[in-house]
Amino acid sequence: MPSPDWQPAWEPDRRSLPAACARVLSGTTSRYFLGGFAPSLFVRRVELFDFQKVRQESDGTYRLQTMFYERLRSIDELVRAAGMLSSTTWSFSSGVALFVDLCLDIFPSIYDARNGDVPMPDTSESAIGCHSVLVTAISSDRVGFRHAWQGWRGYGAADSIVQSGTFPLEYVEQYFREAWAMRLTPGPDPDSVVAVDAGHLDSSATPDRPEEVNDERWCPLGRSSELDMIACWMEGVGSGQPWLQCLAIARSPAGNSTIVGWLHGRIGGSAVDIEDLFVWPPYRGRKIGAALAGSALYWASNRGYRQARWLELEADAIERSYSARGLPSWLRRMDWHESDQGGVRSATDRTDLVACLLEFEEIEVPGGLRKVRAHVGNEVLTGLMPCDVPGAPMVVLGIHPLDYCQGDHRLCRTERTEVRRPQKR
């Protein structure tokens, strides 16, 4: 948790935020924003931070304007999410808006696409890079989109900045790079049409299982003198699987609370895939990420999810390459592995997360966490579990070769703990 005297080192100026954010995050200029739609994880992070509005009422209730982004892993998920755009049965909360971004390779034949209908490229063409569009509709054979290509001969007025067109579904299947579904929840902006009550920080509101609650109701995860952590379950628009969204909110003495970190986890079977864990750069180094992850994993572990996997997207590698010094030390120490999932890098349960645990030891979460290490053959398994729940499921954080510690026995000298049936301390 942040220390009692913790204060943000830098308060954002929202008027200049997008450009400043781009520089903070990537070391690059703001041209990603000027260039129109640009997907990728780091832009989503900037958008979330920029879009947020947080107000805490006198009774402790948070009123939130925030967003949730969901990486669509496959064409099937893209199709499902795009179908939601016109769905009349999707039960979003009032005022929630859904957007689907698609990034794919493009070829010169897009330049003179007749009436905006992009053809399949012929064999003589070479890709001219990735392009990002906003998906507007989908049919059995084409995907409708909008993009900021003034002068392009798509649907729409010739002089309009925003032009519309379609890709063949076959094109999208073949040249798909990445896609994101985002939902925006309007909040306490005085100019906003709809204000959404984000719920009270009342533990009785905590849902036990994601299938029980799908109304995006926020529940408490933890609290310190400066920080509140809240979470809610959501239904993924791509897969229909539950997602866990956790937010770390820094309370400000002036009443201007700020979402300074978040975790997005996707439930698959008994595992939580941590798709994103992020702390806004100026707020790093205060163990907010560790507190957020620990609290979220504790909450998930208490509800039957026995494993957590960490996924890293290409954007993280970009960000790391440009601002390595800005990342939390425990994140830098992780051992990243390239996967074969289209640019996704994954740190799975066989990845080096031990170093991360050393910092988890220092945090406090509701009910308490304890770190577990167990020898499994020639490997050391590490995980997190609650202190006060006998036989509780464990969140597996890593399995490492026994010689991983290289003489640092803090990593491996601990008691031999039963993996399946751990003993209560």
Site residues, other proteins (CB under 8 A): 26, 28-29, 31-32, 34-40, 43, 103, 106, 108-112, 124-132, 149-153, 177, 318
Burial class from Cβ neighbours inside 10 Å (0-12, 13-18, 19+) for residue 148 reads middle
- Nearest distance in Å: CB 178, other proteins: 8
- Nearest distance in Å: CB 166, other proteins: 16
| Closer of 104 and 384 to other proteins (Cβ) | 104
Triad 414, 416, 422: Cα angle to 5°: 110
Q: What are the two backbone dihedrals, phi and then psi, of residue 146, each rounded to the nearest 5 degrees?
A: -125, 150
Cβ neighbours of residue 243 closer than 8 Å, sequence gap 6 or more: 68, 70, 233, 234, 235, 236, 264, 265, 266, 267
| Closer of 36 and 95 to other proteins (Cβ) | 36
| Closer of 43 and 231 to other proteins (Cβ) | 43
Burial class from Cβ neighbours inside 10 Å (0-12, 13-18, 19+) for residue 214 reads middle
What does DSSP say about strands 219-223 and 227-235: parallel, antiparallel, or unpaired? antiparallel
| Closer of 129 and 255 to other proteins (Cβ) | 129
Residue 246 contacts residue 236 (beta carbons within 8 Å): no
- Nearest distance in Å: CB 110, other proteins: 8
- Nearest distance in Å: CB 203, other proteins: 42
Triad 383, 318, 46: Cα angle to 5°: 85
- Nearest distance in Å: CB 40, other proteins: 6
| Cα dihedral 110/112/116/118 (nearest 10) | -40
| Closer of 147 and 286 to other proteins (Cβ) | 147
| Closer of 50 and 197 to other proteins (Cβ) | 50
The full DSSP string for 299-339 is: HHHTTT--EEEEEE-HHHHHHHHHHGGGS-HHHHTS--EEE
Q: What are the two backbone dihedrals, phi and then psi, of residue 125, each rounded to the nearest 5 degrees?
A: -90, 145
| Closer of 93 and 109 to other proteins (Cβ) | 109
| Closer of 12 and 36 to other proteins (Cβ) | 36
- Nearest distance in Å: CB 164, other proteins: 13
What does DSSP say about strands 369-376 and 344-347: parallel, antiparallel, or unpaired? unpaired
What Rg, from alpha-carbon coordinates, does the chain have? Answer: 22
